[in-house]
Structure 1
Amino acid sequence: MTISDLTTLPLRAGAALRDKRFFHPTGVLCGGTLTRTAPAGEGLPMVSGDVVGRISKGAGTPGSLPDFAGLAWRMPRDADGSNPWDVLTVSSSARVALRPVATWNAAQYSTLMPLGYPSGIFWLRATMTTPLDGDGLSLDAVRERLNSGGIEFAVEQAFGIGPFFPLATLTFDRELCADDEDCDQAFDPTVRSGTNVTLLPGWLTSLRRSAYRNSREGRDAQS
């Protein structure tokens, strides 16, 4: 057992006690599309296509109470090959600092870790551009909007410490299932990061991989 496994072992017990994922236990699994808006070959190798995503609450606070807002999505391939690519983002400030929010539209979603690619080191962030009705951080408001027109996010990338510029538009237009117990799709960018994309730094990726694995094993979920 590695140091990373030992460090994250309590997450397995926590997930088992909750019978839910330790991180972002409540959310809405949805389907949609990603449309690349950046020129081909400019920056990260995202391509247009169908995606599966999840909009979630990090601590699982009830109702519309504030929380860490989460956004994850899986692309079945990228410009370099057919390896699937999971992206996980959470509401943050200054790229790396977790920040709870009171509404979905107030969140600036960040990967919290940079992405390595042969052309350099990049950051990813996203913002919800579709206004949601209702107050607070309610998953019911997300479901209602999915059923009445869809939810759109603007995805941006930055090279190193440079400014962000548009990369893609992410659009969810349907809820894939209504029961949290049947919607336990495991998104894990430490094992699915595209063909030539890697999370950086490596030691933190290893720790994060163990954390996700222990959370899945604790609730007896598939990878």
Structure 2
Amino acid sequence: MIDTRRITELPDTAIRTAFQTGARLRHARVFHPRGIRLAGRFRATSDYVPWFGQGDRAVIARLSKGIGSPGPVPDVLGLAFRVLDRDEHPWDFALATTGRSTLGRFVITPARAWATARFGTLLPYRFADATPVWLFAEPLDADDLPNTASLQTLDDHLDDRVIRFSLIADGIGRPPVTVGELDLRRAEPGEHRTDFFDPILNRPADVTLIPHLVNRLRESAYTGSRRGRTDDSAQSAT
């Protein structure tokens, strides 16, 4: 008898193995291999997403380049962050630069500069039984950010500055809502205590990313990438 369960798991296994092999060969994450570790505060500004909880919440984050292109070469830029939800459980977000149109939000898009980067979730969230929404992070002080995609320039910029973002929920056919603000600075040694952000593994129980199939495969990629990294590369990656 054909084991249908094993057949349906084949794509997951293939993706997990591919990302595990890629991470092992690269000695780093398959995507976003190098980045800047950040820490700061998140403050909910709306009860649109009540899972965030009240008041300022400690947050850790990471800004990175997706492919790891050198110097100022444009790249898909990434913003990942973790905040504790209202039940004090880790809630991870992983955003990348996307297009700005209704269709463009589905497409990862290289950015030329940190000053012009707009980060999105690519796939939508469903909060409880509400209609799906995308989350976007937009810089609040874009004119103050480096007009280049260089990680080193951004790192230098953080010597004496804080980077601030608005977090915006935007659904098709409904006006966008600003749901929070992020204030981020370079993390102190020992302050950033995780080497990965996993938005599928770490989220409130009644908050989902859709569609389920795509995110199941996405989780396989995250798992494979983590397994493929050696302890040394995990410790050395910024």
Q: What interval of TM-score do these two structures reach, taking the shorter chain for normalisation? A: 0.7 to 0.9
1:121-200 superposed matches below 5 A:
121-130=132-141, 131-132=143-144, 134-177=146-189, 185-200=195-210
Asked if 1:109 is matched to 2:119, the reply is yes
What is the match of residue 226 of structure 2?
Answer: 216
Deviation at 1:136, TM superposition (A): 1.6
CA displacement at 1:174 relative to structure 2: 2.6
SS at 1:156 equivalent: strand
Larger Rg: 2
2-side partners of 1:141 and 1:51: how far apart? Answer: 23
Deviating 4+ runs (over 3 angstroms): 131-135
Is the contact between residue 114 and residue 145 of structure 2 (CA under 8 Å) also seen in structure 1? no
Aligned counterparts of 1:174 and 1:7: Cα–Cα separation in 2: 33
Could you say which residue in structure 2 is the equivalent of 1:118? 128
Higher strand share: 1
1:62 matched to 2:70:
yes
Match of 2:49, SS state, is: coil
Post-superposition Cα deviations, 1:102-151, rounded to whole Å, max 9, x if no partner, equal 10121111111111221412210011223345542111222223221211
Matches of 1:183 and 1:138 in 2, distance apart? Answer: 25
Q: Are 2:97 and 1:91 aligned?
A: yes
Give CA deviations for 1:167-212 in whole Å, capped at 9, x if unaligned: 111010233459xxx9872001110023421111111111000001
Find the aligned partners of 1:135 and 1:43 in 2 and give their Cα distance.
Answer: 32
Query: 1:53 and 2:61 equivalent?
Result: yes
TM-score, length of structure 2 as denominator length: 0.82
Give unmatched runs, 5+ long, in structure 2: 1-5
Distance 1:201 1:127, change over 3 A: same
**% of aligned pairs identical?**
29
SS in 2 for 1:45: helix
Structure 1 residue 86: Cα displacement = 0.2
Residues 18-73 of structure 1 show CA distances to partners (whole Å, capped at 9, x for unaligned) of 100001011101100001111x3x23522330100000000000111110010010
If the length of structure 1 is used for normalisation, what is the TM-score? Answer: 0.88
Q: Deviation of residue 159 (structure 1)? A: 3.8
